[in-house]
Amino acid sequence: MSSVSVNFLGFDLKNPIATGAGTFGYGDELKDLIDVSRLGAVVVKGTSFDPWPGNNGPRIWETPAGMLNAIGLQNAGLEVFIKDKLPKIRQLGTRVIVSIFDKSAQNYVKIAQALDQEPGIDALELNLSCPNLEAGGATFCATPDLMAEVIRKVKQITKLPLIAKLSPNVTDIVNVAQTAVSAGADGLTLINTLLGMAIDVKTRRPRLKNNVGGLSGPAIHPVAVACVWKVRKALPDVPIIGIGGVHDVETAIEMILAGANLVGIGTANFINPNVCIEIIDGLEKYCAENGVKNISELVGKVQEW
**Three-state secondary-structure class, residue 40:** coil
Q: Any residues with CB less than 8 A from the CB of 269 and at least 6 apart, and which?
A: 19, 20, 23, 24, 275, 276
C-beta of residue 59 within 8 angstroms of C-beta of residue 30:
no
Q: What is d(CA 211, CA 115) in angstroms, rounded to the nearest whole number?
A: 34
Q: What is d(CA 258, CA 231) in angstroms, rounded to the nearest whole number?
A: 9
Q: Any residues with CB less than 8 A from the CB of 262 and at least 6 apart, and which?
A: 6, 8, 13, 16, 17, 18, 40, 41, 239, 240, 241, 242
Active-site annotation holder among 130, 141, 227, 287: 130
Integer angstrom CA distances of residue 181 from 166, 185, 187, 241, 246: 11, 5, 7, 14, 25
What are residue 104's phi and psi, to 5 degrees?
A: -150, 155
What are residue 67's phi and psi, to 5 degrees?
A: -155, 150
206 strand-pairing partners: 199
| 130: annotated active-site residue | yes
ω before 58 within 30° of 0 (cis)? yes
Catalytic residues: 130
